[in-house]
Amino acid sequence: MRPLAGCGNGEDTEGASQTTVTTAPPGAVADMVAADGSPVGRVTFVETGGRLAVEARLTNLPPGFRGFHIHATGKCERGSPAFTSAGGHMVVGDQAHPVHAGDQPVLMVLTDRTAEIRFTTDRYRLSDLLLVTDGRAVVVHANADNYANIPTRYVREADAVTKSTGDAGDRIACGVVTGPGTTPTSASGTTPTSATATTTPSVTATTQRVATAPTTAAATTTLDCKTVGFTPNSEDAASSIKATGLTCAEAEAFVGIAGRQTSSGGPPQVDVEGYRCIRVRSVQDPLPQAFYECTNGARKVTFVRS
């Protein structure tokens, strides 16, 4: 019998070649923290062949399926509720859930409270994460994402919250996406503690954010958007929605959330998804209505809650 080529005694190495497999350094990272500020792991992004490889290694999360998204704003401010400063799901153009650019596969957390996931996406690129004015954030949610998949035999139509968030619920972990060599800071100005090393010495150049106008809509353009209903066949709705600095899809998704924290006789002020919403006036005739103005930097949404 002829011996197998790979079964030598190690003494005859002449003419042999050795292949070294290397892993590309991440083009962007997000160091994740829980609502109490404790580190829970890291998410990395590597761009190759026009696609992004996304990999997450997380710990100290509650077991079960968890929504896992890219959010529109690179802020992870703790509070009650936590991480609403990250805004809604990241969109590139005019998109709705579950085809937001930031919509991703659900995360399965094991009984030992760890989770690992790796997938590729062509829904967004590194430039969509880094070359934006407000940055981006990775968020883990308390519930699974149903991807707005509600069969018509259960309800006539999914409501605005399901359409915008997939009912993923509260935010239990968050991490600001940064370029290699960049250290994010918390709302208090301190550097968060990471569960993993944050240096990438093999990277010779870093990507920096540049101040650009929002790509979803001109900051000076005001759009008239559709009414958002909260209960079928009733007057429980938000109407006269106007959006400045964001698309109607973004505004309607936001109002779908804000409208549930407001009403015709609702609170004079409420913070929702990173926006400060103020009730500017109310009327009682012919129907009780409250007029709300919500702002987040250059973005503004107004609506009438009835």
pLDDT in tens, 203-261: 333 333 333 334 333 345 788 888 887 765 456 788 888 888 888 888 888 888 888 88
Q: Where do the H-state alpha helices sit in 98-233? A: 126-130, 160-165
50 and 171 fall within a common domain: yes
Q: Check whether 190 has a pLDDT greater than 70.
A: no
Lowest average pLDDT, out of 59-63, 95-99, 293-297, goes to 95-99
What whole-number percentage of the chain has pLDDT above 70? 67
137 and 269 fall within a common domain: no
14 found inside a domain? no
Which residue, 178, 201, 236, sits at the end of a domain?
A: 178
Separation of CA 44 from chain center: 14
83 and 152 fall within a common domain: yes
What is residue 238's predicted lDDT score, i.e. its pLDDT?
A: 84
Q: Are 25 and 203 in contact (CB under 8 A)?
A: yes
Higher pLDDT, residue 129 or 193: 129
Q: Are 147 and 106 in contact (CB under 8 A)?
A: no
What is residue 107's predicted lDDT score, i.e. its pLDDT?
A: 94
162 found inside a domain? yes
173 and 33 fall within a common domain: yes
What is residue 119's predicted lDDT score, i.e. its pLDDT?
A: 94
Q: How far is CA 112 from CA 58, 140, 153, 235, in A?
A: 11, 17, 37, 47
Q: Check whether 71 has a pLDDT greater than 50.
A: yes
166 and 56 fall within a common domain: yes
Q: Are 65 and 245 in contact (CB under 8 A)?
A: no
Q: Are 69 and 39 in contact (CB under 8 A)?
A: no
231 and 168 fall within a common domain: no
What is residue 121's predicted lDDT score, i.e. its pLDDT?
A: 92
Number of folded domains that form the chain:
2
CA dihedral 121, 124, 126, 130 (to 10 degrees): -140
Q: Which domain holds residue 281?
A: 222-305
Q: How confident is the model at residue 91 (pLDDT cuts 50, 70, 90)?
A: confident
What is residue 161's predicted lDDT score, i.e. its pLDDT?
A: 59
pLDDT in tens, 115-138: 999 999 998 889 989 988 889 999
Residues 6 or more apart in contact with residue 40 via CB below 8 angstroms: 32, 33, 34, 58, 59, 60, 61, 140, 173, 195
Q: How far is CA 263 from CA 238, 283, 304, in A?
A: 9, 12, 9
12 found inside a domain? no
174 and 232 fall within a common domain: no
Separation of CA 234 from chain center: 32
What is residue 40's predicted lDDT score, i.e. its pLDDT?
A: 95
Distance from C-alpha of 236 to C-alpha of 264, rounded to nearest angstrom? 9
What whole-number percentage of the chain has pLDDT above 90? 26
Q: Residue with structure tokens 């018509």?
A: 152
